[in-house]
Structure 1
Amino acid sequence: MTTELPHSDADATEVGYGGHVSQTLARVSRLHRLAGGRLLRPTGLCSGQEFLMMTLWDAGSVRQSELARALDLDPSTVTLMLRRLEQGGHVTRARDPRDRRVMLVRASERSYALRPQVAAAWARLEEHILDGLDDGEREAFARILMKVEKNLAAEEAQEAEEAGEAGEGGGDPEDSGRS
């Protein structure tokens, strides 16, 4: 017995499943990530790795734990990303000579050649997603999107604060045992 699935187009979105804005935003986010990944393909970076590399290009040598916090990613996710980037020759990791428990990460010299390619890919993506919008619409869209981001970030901060008050926080999760 086969079950026929409904089509998933924007007009068929059910308000009972959370509203059309949230569902559209989820679809747009997915499509944005896919388009970004396609544009990054010639660099050899996977979608998401460019954020890590941009952070390192701007910051220089940083603690692995600080990198995870800056990217708002789980430390184990950053460890995996760094392992892959290190294998590709894009980053180097070394123990901090002042504190051997700390792992320092930096962009390799070779990786700096990718910086203009990543910037160009993001510029092309920006133009693609804003195609057909006039300057006023672009400004309004950016302003609204920043408000949405602020709302979501405030909710995340509140959740983190409540989790910390409940005793789930504690200690600085440094890199020991994860490299």
Structure 2
Amino acid sequence: MNFDQADVINQAIRRLSLRHRARTAALLAPLGLHPGQEALLLELARTGPMIQAQLSEALGVEPPSVTLMTRKLEASGHIRRAPAPSDKRASIVELTDSGKALTDQVKRLWCALAEETVTGLPAQTVAELPGVLNTLSGNVDARRLAV
């Protein structure tokens, strides 16, 4: 691949990433959430209670980021943390009723954001998009882990 092709691809990915995050922030703000917190809530809704270290791995973020997010979400009443029975140093995180209600709002927002993002694309492209994006992520992850 030559530089011009590489530049077009890399710039497009960069722009999409920045704009998607900014749009996510704008949509989450009225709910009192910051980007990343919605992913934590959605993960707990999908999997149920889990240890913070598991959350960190599932979200692909560093443990201190999960600690900060859980503290903020706990302070706002959306999650609760309790010592893990098997390891008192670890905390199990779970949604509260408030968190479950907020997650329902996040799911609606998430659907609207996805629809907004893929507007104008053919249905077949939309159907193929998760696979393409997951392949791109996997390619970058494989290189990052090899370094």
Tell me the TM-score range normalised by the shorter chain.
0.7 to 0.9
Aligned counterpart, 1:138: 126
* Counterpart code for 2:123: D
Query: Percent identity, aligned pairs only?
Result: 33
Partners of 1:137 and 1:109 in 2: how far apart? 37
* Counterpart code for 2:52: Q
Aligned pairs for 1:5-154 within 5 A: 15=3, 19-154=7-142
* Counterpart code for 1:48: G
Partners of 1:72 and 1:40 in 2: how far apart? 20
What is the Cα deviation at residue 140 of structure 1? 4.4
Aligned counterpart, 1:162: none
Gaps of 5+ in 1: 1-14, 160-179
CA contact (8 A) 2:78 2:102 kept: no
> How high is the TM-score relative to the length of structure 2?
0.87
Structure 2 counterpart SS, 1:19: helix
Structure with higher RCO (Cα < 8 A, 6+ apart): 1
Number of corresponding residues: 144
Partners of 1:78 and 1:21 in 2: how far apart? 31
Partners of 2:33 and 2:86 in 1: how far apart? 32
Query: For the pair shown, which has the larger CA radius of gyration, 1 or 2?
Result: 1
Partners of 1:130 and 1:98 in 2: how far apart? 44
* Counterpart code for 1:99: D
Gaps of 5+ in 2: none
What is the Cα deviation at residue 79 of structure 1? 0.6
The structure richer in helix per residue is 2
- Sort the Cα spacing of 1:147 and 1:60 in 2 relative to 1 into closer, same or farther, 3 A: closer
What RMSD over aligned residues (CA atoms) do the two structures have, in Å? 1.9
